[in-house]
Amino acid sequence: MTNRELIERVSAAAGENRAEPRLTRADWLDKALRVLIENGIDSVRITRLADLLGVTRGSFYWHFADRGALLTAMLKVWEQSNTASIIRAATSPGSLEDRVLALFMCWIDPELFDPRLDFAVRDWARGDAELQRNIAMSDQQRMDALVAMFASHGFPERQALIRARNFYYTQMGYYALNIHEPLSARLSYLSTYFETYTDETLSAEAERAFRVRIIARKDLWSDEPIPHR
C-alpha cells in the first residue's frame, strides 16, 4: 500500500456526510503531511494549506472540524505507516531470514517506512508532552516486535533485547545522521548486516531474490544507474 493509498484509507474511515467538494479529505491530508515534512508543524495552518491548494479556507471545513482534527489524522497516517510496517515485517510468517529481509525492505522503501515523516513527527513533539508519550509508546511497540522476533527464533531474553536494540537503534541513527549512500553500496552490505544481527549466514537464494526485488523497483534508485548483477 502506497502512502497515498494509506492517506485515502484513513480519510475514508472518517466518513463524510456532505456533498463532495472538488478537493477530497485525502488531498488536504496529503498536503498537510508534505508541509509538515518540509517546513514543520508550525507551517501546517489552514490558511497556508488553502493557499497551496488554490482554494478557500471554507473547503477545509468540508472534511475537518478544525485544525486539531487534521493533526489527529496526520498522526494516524504516521502510526499506520511507519510503526505498523515495522511490526508487520517483524511478525510476518516465515523464517528469521524472511522477517529480517522484510525489515530491511522497510528501511529501503519510504512507502513502508518514511524516515522524513518519522523525524518530522519527532520534531513536532518537542513542545508537546502528550505527543512525546505517544512516540515513546510507538518506539516501544516497534522494539517489542523486534525482541519477540528474535526470541521466537531461539535467542535468550537478553540477547533478543540487545539484538533488537542494535537493529533498531542502528537504523534510526543512520536516518538521524542523514547519511547519503548509494543504494548499490547498501545492498553490498546486505549479507554482512544479516550475519551481524542474526549470527546466521544469509542464503544465496534469499539474497539474490532480495536484490532482484530491489532492482525491479526503479523508483527507489533515484538518479543512480541500476547496477547489473
- Note the pLDDT of residue 66: 97
Q: What average pLDDT score do residues 173-195 get?
A: 91
| Residues 61, 80: Cα–Cα separation, whole Å | 24
- Note the pLDDT of residue 33: 98
In a domain, 74, yes or no: yes
How far, in Å, are 84, 110, 190 from residue 210 at the CA level? 21, 17, 9
In a domain, 143, yes or no: yes
pLDDT tens digit string along 88-104? 999 999 999 999 999 99
pTM of the model: 0.85
Helix or strand run (H / E) with residue 57: helix 57-60
In a domain, 194, yes or no: no
The answer on pLDDT for 158 being more than 90 is yes
What is the number of structural domains in the chain? 1
pLDDT band at 224 (very low <50, low <70, confident <90, very high): very low
Q: Which residues have a Cβ under 8 Å from the Cβ of 20 and sit 6 or more positions away?
A: none
C-alpha 3: how far from its chain's center? 9
In a domain, 192, yes or no: no
In a domain, 47, yes or no: yes
Domain containing residue 136: 3-179
In a domain, 80, yes or no: yes
Average pLDDT, the chain: 89
DSSP 33-47: HHHHHHH-GGG--HH
In a domain, 205, yes or no: no
| Residues 48, 54: Cα–Cα separation, whole Å | 10
Domain CATH for 29: 1.10.357.10
pLDDT tens digit string along 13-25? 655 444 445 789 9
Contact at 8 Å (CB) between 95 and 101? Answer: no
DSSP 170-204: HHHHHHHTT----HHHHHHTHHHHHHHHHSSPPPH
In a domain, 164, yes or no: yes
